[in-house]
Amino acid sequence: MALETTLILLKPDAIEKNLTGEVLSRFQKEGFTIRSIKMMQLDEAILREHYAHVADKPFFPEIVAFMSKTPVIALALAGEEVIARVRDLLGPTNSQLAPKGTIRGDFGEDMMTNVCHASDSSEAAEAEIQRFFKTGEVF
Q: What would the pLDDT profile of 39-71 be if each residue is shown by its tens digit?
A: 999 999 999 999 999 999 999 999 999 999 999
5's enclosing H/E stretch is strand 3-10
**Which residue in the list 19, 117, 125, 129 is annotated as catalytic?**
117
0.75 cut: is pTM over it? yes
What structural domains and CATH numbers belong to the chain?
3-132 (3.30.70.141)
Q: Is 51 helix (H, G, I), strand (E, B) or coil?
A: coil
Residue 7 has a CB neighbour count (10 Å cut-off) of: 26
The question of whether 50 is a catalytic residue gets the answer no
- The per-residue pLDDT for range 9-33, each reduced to its tens digit, is 999 999 999 999 999 999 999 999 9
The H-assigned helical ranges of the chain are 12-16, 20-29, 44-50, 60-67, 82-90, 103-107, 122-132
The Cα–Cα gap between 39 and 15 comes to 10
